[in-house]
Chain A
């Protein structure tokens, strides 16, 4: 027997089935949290945003009519909350990782990722992962969100285009730029014979 679809689970939850909601949560908790974590760049804020996203789902589940896929709807909520959060951070004067630093003229995100330990020192996979994470977090917002939606959730370009509100071709371009940037930033990690 095949698993019920996301939309069927949400409909079941609306009818009072909490287990359906828990199943839905289990499907998306990891990807959504990592999307928020790489966008907010802080675990505490990411957890707050994570709860906010699901609260919105709970509050607005009656508004979901099934015109779009549940994943598209869910990531649209998450993206909007991220944008609101970033606006608040800018208003409060937090330094953006994308903004060029006055001292070096290089964005903080790139500086963090580039000035890490060397490849030899990053023997442990955890440290390599940390470096990649910093590189992803240092991507420009429009490239990062496309990259994360594709990489974490495996959304189709058309679906990403719906979430972001641009054309599918623009999504592909942004994804290509993000990969080029990551490749440039993490070139010392690349070992072609292993890849």
Chain B
């Protein structure tokens, strides 16, 4: 260590943070210049220690304490705090709900697929599907009969009205039929009551004409699939797709 390095370490020696205190002390012992610099440093620190310390005013302290007290959070009553579920519990419940929702969606799809594949794997599956198709067709025929019956009722009412203009009769018919919000025409309840009493079966819920016509179209389409109509090839094709969809579900 030379004198320059020693002088750089003088302050650290006083502050007891010197890297090499032994080396600095050795140079101070033999170098008068370094010793003088050390004394000056100590003198400066001693003078600096006489720096007067002033106090802030009581008003300033009072303003600070007032601001600190105004900022304090209002303490929530203990009972209320106990009633409130902890945030981690709320997060766990939310996570559980999301998890159940995510789990249930693919589970339902899989169940449907499983049922279809099980039906396919069993030898009786095509027979069951065929029977279901027959049931749908029979129901559709019933529906067409019901529609014809409805037409008869309408014609009777028209006859009852006599020479009433067609528009008036149509208006009355429209007013007698309840129109649901979705705009589809609903069959009158009396028709279903009559149908259920004649067949002595449990009354089916009123269906929309669209649904029934769709079923009857499906039944018609099935027959047309056997005898395709070239004029309505697109419709029969779609129905063919529909009728062949059931076995394919199982394959997937």
Chain A residues near B (Cβ < 8 Å) = 13, 16, 18, 21-22, 25, 29-30, 33-34, 37-38, 43, 46-47, 50-51, 54-55, 58-59, 125-126, 128-130, 132-133, 136, 147, 151-152, 157, 172, 175-176, 179-180, 182-183, 186, 189-190, 192, 195
Query: Of B26-34, B68-76, B132-140, which stretch is located at the interface?
Result: B68-76
Q: Which residues of A contact B8 (CB under 8 A)?
A: 176
Q: Beta-carbon contacts of B53-82 to A below 8 Å, as 1s and 0s?
A: 111110011011101110111010000000
Interface secondary structure of A, over-half rule: helix
Q: Determine whether the beta carbon of B11 is less than 8 Å from that of A33.
A: no
The contact sample of 16 A-B pairs, CB cut-off 8 A, is A33-B54, A33-B55, A33-B56, A34-B53, A51-B63, A51-B67, A58-B64, A126-B52, A157-B17, A175-B11, A176-B8, A180-B41, A183-B47, A190-B43, A192-B43, A195-B46
Distance of B33 from chain A, by nearest CB (Å)? 15
Given A16-B73, A18-B68, A21-B68, check contact A132 B52 (CB 8 Å): yes
Q: How far is the CA of A22 from the CA of B73 in the complex (A)?
A: 16
Q: Which residues of B contact A33 (CB under 8 A)?
A: 54-56
Q: Determine whether the beta carbon of B51 is less than 8 Å from that of A25.
A: no
Q: Which residues of A contact B39 (CB under 8 A)?
A: 192
Within 8 Å by CB of B64, from A34, A54, A195, lies A54
Distance of B21 from chain A, by nearest CB (Å)? 15
Q: How far is the CA of A176 from the CA of B12 in the complex (A)?
A: 9
Q: How far is the CA of A18 from the CA of B71 in the complex (A)?
A: 10
Q: How far is the CA of A147 from the CA of B65 in the complex (A)?
A: 29
What 17 new A-B contacts, CB under 8 Å, besides A38-B51, A151-B51, A192-B43?
A16-B72, A16-B73, A18-B68, A18-B69, A29-B55, A33-B55, A34-B54, A55-B64, A58-B64, A59-B71, A133-B51, A136-B48, A176-B41, A180-B41, A183-B43, A190-B47, A195-B42
Q: Which of A126, A147, A172, A183 has the most CB of B within 10 A?
A: A183
Q: Determine whether the beta carbon of B56 is less than 8 Å from that of A29.
A: yes
B84 at the A interface (CB under 8 A):
no
Q: Which residues of B contact A18 (CB under 8 A)?
A: 65, 68-69, 72
B49 at the A interface (CB under 8 A):
yes
Q: How far is the CA of A176 from the CA of B17 in the complex (A)?
A: 13
Q: Which 8 A-B pairs have the closest CB atoms?
A: A183-B44, A129-B52, A54-B64, A33-B56, A195-B46, A179-B44, A195-B43, A190-B43
Q: How far is the CA of A194 from the CA of B69 in the complex (A)?
A: 48
Q: Determine whether the beta carbon of B52 is less than 8 Å from that of A25.
A: no
Distance of A193 from chain B, by nearest CB (Å)? 11
Q: How far is the CA of A50 from the CA of B67 in the complex (A)?
A: 13
Q: How far is the CA of A95 from the CA of B11 in the complex (A)?
A: 33
Q: Determine whether the beta carbon of A58 is less than 8 Å from that of B51.
A: no
Q: Determine whether the beta carbon of B44 is less than 8 Å from that of A129.
A: no
Nearest A residue to B45, CB-CB: A179
B210 at the A interface (CB under 8 A):
no
Given A16-B73, A175-B11, check contact A51 B52 (CB 8 Å): no
Within 8 Å by CB of A183, from B40, B64, B65, B68, lies B40
Nearest A residue to B44, CB-CB: A183
Within 8 Å by CB of A182, from B48, B52, B53, B55, lies B48
Distance of B62 from chain A, by nearest CB (Å)? 10
Q: Determine whether the beta carbon of A132 is less than 8 Å from that of B57.
A: no
Q: Which residues of B contact A13 (CB under 8 A)?
A: 68, 72
Q: Determine whether the beta carbon of B60 is less than 8 Å from that of A183.
A: no
B50 at the A interface (CB under 8 A):
yes
Q: Determine whether the beta carbon of A129 is less than 8 Å from that of B50.
A: yes
Q: Which residues of B contact A180 (CB under 8 A)?
A: 40-41, 44
Q: Which residues of B contact A129 (CB under 8 A)?
A: 50-52
Nearest B residue to A18, CB-CB: B69
